[in-house]
Amino acid sequence: MLCSSSVAFAEAPPTAPLCTLDDDALLTLDEQWPRVPADHSISLEDRITDKVTDLGNHVGNQLDQLSHHVARLHVDGRARRAQLHLGYGNEHLLVNFDSSWLFADGKAYVKAKLELALGDHHFELELPNMDLSHDNYKGEGMVEVNVSVLEKRF
């Protein structure tokens, strides 16, 4: 069904103004388009650090199981630290090597301790602090080991 109607105006219809100013037009662009909400999730850097930490600790757990608790590795990526333990012993012979690693400034700073026991004789040796860095000599990669022979403490 079609309906049609026509209305005749006696006078001209009112025309709308070309430009009207309402309250929305007076708002600034920041008010009209609010900012994206702040992201409170973990940063990409921290997520990568956590994944590398998890991978390092997984390798450390596998190393611990495969070596029957002779070798252990623990990694803390956020603190840029690692601990490595190598050792085995019984009532006659004991050999332990413990080390703490700090990774900073492109170097690895190492504190290590060696413990030996043979029967009733016990010997502990705290090794001097070392720092390891990667270097290049005539195109060949190498690790440079710096050992502090004299240590000053105040």
Q: Provide the residue ranges of all domains of the chain, joining segments of one domain with +.
A: 45-147
* 149 close to 127: Cβ distance less than 8 angstroms: no
Residue 21: pLDDT band (50, 70, 90) is low
Highest mean pLDDT: which of 38-52, 93-107, 137-151?
93-107
**Dihedral sign from CA coordinates of 25, 26, 27, 29:** positive
Return the ∠ at Cα 74 (arms to 42 and 64), rounded to 5°: 130
Nearest partner of 81 among 55, 99, 61, 62, judged by Cα: 99
Q: Give the number of other CB atoms < 10 A from CB of residue 43.
A: 9
The string of DSSP codes covering 12-63 is: PPPPPPS----GGGGS-HHHHSPPPPPP-SPPHHHHHHHHHHHHHHHHHHHH
d(CA 86, CA 98): 7
d(CA 137, CA 141): 7
Residue 30: pLDDT band (50, 70, 90) is confident
Nearest partner of 128 among 153, 103, 105, 104, judged by Cα: 153
Give pLDDT, residue 150: 75
Length of the chain (residues): 154
Q: What is the mean pLDDT of residues 19-31?
A: 65
> Quick check: 1 pLDDT over 50?
no
